[in-house]
Amino acid sequence: MPRTAAKAETSSDASFAGRLNAAATETEQLLDRLLAAAPADGEIARPPRVTGAMRYSSLGGGKRLRPFLAVETAALFGVKRQHALMAGAAVSSWSSSCSVSAAAALSRPANEASELVSVLVTVRDMERGIERDMG
């Protein structure tokens, strides 16, 4: 088996890894809070089987690259980190093929839901701009 040379970690690599890990940790904590068993203000109930399925598909997931991209892109445009994390959590949930999780995030009280939709539109527009600029 051929051996490969270990790449020395540079300062920028460590900074990237630190930011990636921070976004992953914050996204995981946010999803854990959003998908709690107890109903949030304004909700009537959360069926245990549905909540369990949403938690199973959404938590404990990998590097969380999509939320990281949402957070970093939002930072370029001065979007509040908490809003970018909410959008990143929704994108992460959608990307794990769990539309129920995204629906749970959107079923938050009206003021939170409208903030989330606003952030999602902003992130979507940023993604479109990046795609356009990248060719």
Give residue-wise pLDDT tens across range 99-124: 444 555 555 554 555 555 555 666 66
Its pTM stands at 0.61
pLDDT confidence of residue 40? 83
Let me know: does 93 contact 31? Beta carbons within 8 Å: yes
For 65, 71, 120, the CA distances from 78, given in Å and listed in that order, are: 20, 10, 14
pLDDT over 90, % of the chain = 21
Q: Shortest CA distance to 19 belongs to which of 73, 87, 95?
A: 73
Q: 102 or 130, which is more confident? A: 130
Domain locations along the chain: 13-134
